[in-house]
A and B are shown apart, each in its own frame.
Chain A
């Protein structure tokens, strides 16, 4: 059966980027406004799912040759690394630090180690969701 999904595919090509950008925005703004690693990760996964729906698994695997299990692993490393990194400064496991810096363009900004931890959450969420969806999708 030949399916006609030109509209879906065309729309997807544009919207995927918008969704991913929005998810990144959500991720970075998490500390002050709604968002964060969990939602950001889910939304990125949502964008990828849209790709999967519009195109098929093989095409998407060609465009994004990513092993999502490794993404999960990297995410866990990030999270555990941030948590264990605190030990290096002789403060309890999972103590975060932050400070204010003046950066070019952005001006006065606060930088947090929590972002690193959140990056871990983000990557794990993307990795897990995509691993599950891909394996179930391929299963037949």
Chain B
């Protein structure tokens, strides 16, 4: 474990302390303690810049399950570092903002910050893991913590709905991604991303390649809310605003983008990757911005805008992948797209973060986020208004803000598509710049709606819950910092180029970078009267017209039939599967344990006998069997007698005692065969379970004799007989077939030497097969909690009713 590993795990460790801090210091807002961590981590990661700037990387490995190729490998390169700094930097600002946003008297802060820290650690793990399994584990952690954060106000039905939706969709994607990871492992024989990148030339010819590509992309697209999986993001806005600013704009949704960037060197040699990532990304740009215009909720607009902007970064990465497809760096026009993607990643985090915080401030100070109720807030909140102007203008791609620069680079990238020759880009390729341009017009329109409908126009105090006033200074610090970054990066984009952008771009296209070579990352504010500039002028002109005539053409949104939307498809699918599951369950769950036993035993007999027959594994050699002694006969007789007696027992008490007798007899068997551990366990278990029976025996209903039909009884007898025969056949066949040497020899040799124990059973339990034991006790614990919950819940309900 190195410092780097501790840095990744520190949020989890810190999260354990939160409930105690919350209880011990009730007077202090818990956020102040939490704030320390991202700040420290940010400073820690900041120091890595000097390393990655020179193209160096850091790799630290901790063995986890090395025999399966699973390691906790922390890997820092330009791309990972950029994300790590976004996570900790924006994280610190969001925590600071949340201290003023969440009331310490009313909110359950300990829950909130535990979830937030869990998320932060998971996110760091995703971007700094080289091992795909570790990455996957952290990836699903982000889904779970996001679920908890969206459902933070769990009393609200919409929150629960949004949380469930986001989890269903992102976990579905995560599972697909796991499939992709396993396919990659089958192809390359390793989970390490760097090693897989080195093999990309062989991988692309593998028949499994296409499957892995699509499955991995499913993971990335669901996480980054790309069309058609974007539907969860607007519902995720039920989370508290700091969460929306953090997870749903700056970090988690960018995990998918990170994955695409990280995987580009492996997959982008294939044209399909470029086509899929670029195409779906670009359609998302259009669809997101088009739908953002119709939203009435400030956070709704921002949610769709995030979808659209993520699509933009995605499409740029897709087009940038073409550089790898053509495999040359000199004069490579596609590199510009990758650079634009990385640059816009940072810009989007700054302006969208600040805009979310503005939306939160408006909500906090007026009690509503509905733009139909808002208006004329400019004079009440001048500082918020200024921040909103900067953020929104940057989002719209207007000079002199940073969004303008990346927007221009976006256009450049899309124009370059025209010269691509994969998948007939001559015909379809023309769609790229057009869609990009139309998407940008709508982006302009919704950015203007966001600012001007909120802050200018008619002030309607009667519709607001509170009298608006400027937010407290603490709440303003974070958005002010982000807005100043928007301006600074706009005027001096090159402070980022060498230190941050170039290393990140190099990490995306490692195979193209020869030693000593660097990527050209000069970003110039003024780039002449190029097509891009004219496109921007067109965006502004059309955008202004569309904004002014909004009321006239807004009706087209109502043309879309609601029933055909993706949301109703999702809702309908969920309802349908629920109904199907109920139907299926009611069909075979009778509530009687004997029905279930019939199922279990029938399947057991059927499947076992079939597999024995299918593998031709019947082998009944009696010669090697040990002689049967008098003890065995006696014990077996005892067993048979006590079992048969249970069948004819009239009262429950008798059958319990007889059942105990059977158990004790079995343990006698163990004694005869010299297995003291087993005998002891069996004895104690038998004692405890009989005692348990006796404890609740008094309360059980009278043993009812079901007068069953003869056929039913006969069927039961047949099944019982079948089970007995199957087990016997299995036991004898297993004994007569010796394909391998018995494993006991291995244990006899190694138990003392490797584990210094003489009791083989126990050493196997805790040492050789410790994993089994670990999971077994987990299962036990879950089972006991299940019983506890079931019975306690029933009791409280009875008390209430």
Q: Do A and B bind each other?
A: yes
Q: Which residues of A contact B (CB under 8 A)?
A: 26, 30-39, 42-43, 45-46, 49-50, 52-53, 69, 72-73, 75-76, 79-80, 83, 87-88, 90-94, 96, 98, 110, 112, 114, 117-118, 120-121, 124-125, 127-129, 131-133, 135-140
Question: Contact between B770 and A96 (Cβ–Cβ < 8 Å)?
Answer: yes
| Segment among B87-95, B633-641, B751-759 that sits at the interface with chain A | B751-759
Q: In chain A, what residue has the closest Cβ to B680?
A: A39
**Which A residues lie within 8 Å of B773 (CB)?**
79, 117, 121
**Which A residues lie within 8 Å of B677 (CB)?**
34-36, 39
- Partner of B774 from the list A38, A80, A98 (CB cut-off 8 Å) is A80
Q: A36-B766, A37-B766, A72-B781 are in contact. Are A92 and B787 (CB under 8 A)?
A: no
Question: Cβ of B761 < 8 Å from any Cβ of A?
Answer: yes
Question: Cβ of B50 < 8 Å from any Cβ of A?
Answer: no
User: What are some 27 contacts across the A-B interface (CB < 8 A)?
Assistant: A30-B762, A31-B758, A32-B758, A34-B680, A35-B759, A37-B765, A39-B677, A39-B684, A42-B685, A53-B694, A69-B784, A69-B785, A72-B785, A76-B778, A79-B773, A83-B770, A83-B774, A87-B72, A92-B63, A92-B66, A112-B756, A125-B777, A132-B692, A135-B787, A136-B696, A137-B695, A140-B699
Question: Cβ of B581 < 8 Å from any Cβ of A?
Answer: no
> Which residues of chain B from 764 to 794 have any CB-CB distance to chain A below 8 Å in the complex?
765-767, 770-771, 773-774, 777-778, 780-781, 783-785, 787-788, 791-792, 794
Since A42-B685, A124-B777, A128-B780 are in contact, a sample of 10 more A-B pairs with Cβ atoms closer than 8 Å, ordered by chain A residue number, is A39-B681, A42-B681, A49-B687, A53-B695, A72-B784, A94-B774, A98-B756, A125-B777, A129-B688, A136-B692
Interface majority SS on A: helix, strand, loop or mixed? Answer: helix
**Complex Cα spacing A109 to B677, Å:** 23
**Complex Cα spacing A118 to B63, Å:** 23
The total number of A-B Cβ pairs within 8 Å is 169
**Which B residues lie within 8 Å of A129 (CB)?**
688
- Partner of B759 from the list A32, A73, A137 (CB cut-off 8 Å) is A32
- Partner of A43 from the list B72, B684, B791, B795 (CB cut-off 8 Å) is B684
Residue from B62, B677, B770 whose CB has the most chain A CB atoms within 10 Å = B770
Q: Which residues of B contact A (CB under 8 A)?
A: 1, 62-67, 72, 676-677, 680-681, 684-685, 687-688, 691-692, 694-696, 699, 755-759, 761-763, 765-767, 770-771, 773-774, 777-778, 780-781, 783-785, 787-788, 791-792, 794-795
A132 to chain B, nearest CB (A): 5
Question: Contact between B684 and A46 (Cβ–Cβ < 8 Å)?
Answer: yes
B477 to chain A, nearest CB (A): 38
**Which A residues lie within 8 Å of B67 (CB)?**
92
Interface majority SS on B: helix, strand, loop or mixed? Answer: helix
B676 to chain A, nearest CB (A): 4
A52 to chain B, nearest CB (A): 7
**Which B residues lie within 8 Å of A87 (CB)?**
1, 62-64, 72
**Which A residues lie within 8 Å of B63 (CB)?**
87, 90-92
**Complex Cα spacing A124 to B692, Å:** 18
- Partner of B791 from the list A98, A110, A135 (CB cut-off 8 Å) is A135
B681 to chain A, nearest CB (A): 5
Sorted from nearest, which 4 A-B pairs have the closest CB atoms? A36-B762, A34-B676, A31-B757, A128-B784
Question: Contact between B788 and A131 (Cβ–Cβ < 8 Å)?
Answer: yes
**Which B residues lie within 8 Å of A42 (CB)?**
681, 684-685, 688
